[in-house]
Copies of this chain bind each other. A is one copy, B any other.
Amino acid sequence: MFRKVLFPTDFSQGSYKAMKIFEEKNNVEIGELILMSVVDESIVEEMMNGYSLRYNSEENELKDIEKKLTERRIKELKEKGELAQEILKPKKLKLIVKFGIPYKKIVETADEEDVSLILLPSHGKLDFTHEIFGSTTCRVLKTTKKPVLLIKTYEEV
């Protein structure tokens, strides 16, 4: 049994495929599954450019956007959680939403939660490239000391 698995998801087709492949190829019990989503702070900053008129201060605006995005992400994560429960059948399921730089938050959460494995799709939402890995996956691999189970989700042509 995998004691505690961290599965960062960006709600992409790749991350759904990764779960299916993992389950179909093997039949491994998971003690606790942590499904995680990171609200990318760089995208929020992007969104704020030119939209700072309605607010008294940038700081208030940032907090407001952060709050709204996090709430929406929690809702999405709950739906994904039902799917993960169905496919991977963990004994326990935990949902985490964080705000920041995705790879940093993933590595940080893996340590905080003392997971025994990080489950990563090779490519996520923004990675329509011919690279071996998507950029977040690559940065996680470079930074973490945890074992990583890497699932190829991108068919090379």
- Interface positions of A (Cβ within 8 A of B): 1-3, 21-22, 25-28, 116-117, 132-133, 138, 141-142, 144-152, 155
Contacts and interface: CB of A to CB of B under 8 A. Distances in A.
Contacts of A117: 25-26, 149
28 contacts: A1-B27, A1-B28, A2-B26, A2-B28, A3-B25, A3-B26, A22-B147, A25-B116, A25-B146, A25-B147, A26-B116, A26-B117, A26-B147, A117-B149, A132-B138, A132-B141, A132-B142, A133-B141, A144-B152, A145-B152, A145-B155, A146-B152, A147-B149, A147-B150, A147-B152, A148-B150, A148-B152, A149-B149
A103 to B, nearest CB: 13
A144 B141 CA distance: 17
A141 B149 CA distance: 11
Contacts of A155: 145
A144 B151 CA distance: 10
Nearest to A154: B145
Contacts of A133: 141
